[in-house]
Each structure stands twice: as structure tokens, then as C-alpha cells.
Amino acid sequence: MRTHLTKSQLKVNDWVRELGFQTEMEKVIGKYCVDIFIPELYWVVEVDGPIGHLKKGDLKRDKYLYLEWGIDNIIHVKNEVGEKEFKEKILESIGMKLEKNETEKRS
């Protein structure tokens, strides 16, 4: 497990909490450690640093989290993302999830 949190990870975690969600930072899920886990939504937020994560590694981890743990929303944000842009992305994702749930209920 990583022990050094970046300023960007801390900033993004604060923004998620400002939206009213609990978070778990550096959460171990199976064989991976994710940057931020949002238990109420069962979502993961990965903050890509200036170099970024390895894309192939991202895909492998994301597939594992979906297939083995049912985590179907993994939000990747750039290190330099702004607060407004990030919060809009989260709220948009929540809206899409709610719409999907409503559609599935009607089917």
C-alpha cells in the first residue's frame, strides 16, 4: 500500500466530502489499492499524477474491480483538474446512475 498521499489526492478527497459523501483513501480492494473509494456509491476515484498511471495497468485494474467486485464506475481525474469541473463530473455521473436505475426499474 502507498503511504504518501499527494496534494491532488487530498484536494479531490475534500471535494467528494464537500458533496456529502464519506470516503476511504488508499483503500485496498482485492489485490489493488485505489486512491479514493466512495462506499455509498460503490465508486472509485483515481487521481492521475503529472506522469499519470500506466494506461495498460489502469485497464487491467478497472476490469478486475468491475468483474470481481462489481464496481462499475471508476472516475479518472487529471492531477490538475479544477474543483468546479470535478464536482460537475461527479454530479453528472450520479445523475446518469440514477437515470439508469429508474430505467431498469421500469423494465
What is the predicted pLDDT for the residue at 44?
94
d(CA 72, CA 65): 8
What is the predicted pLDDT for the residue at 98?
63
What is the residue-level pLDDT of the chain in tens, covering all 107 positions? 556 788 888 988 998 998 888 999 999 999 999 999 999 989 999 887 666 555 777 889 999 999 999 998 888 887 777 778 888 877 787 777 666 666 766 66
Candidates 89, 93, 27; CA nearest to 61 is 27
What is the predicted pLDDT for the residue at 13?
92
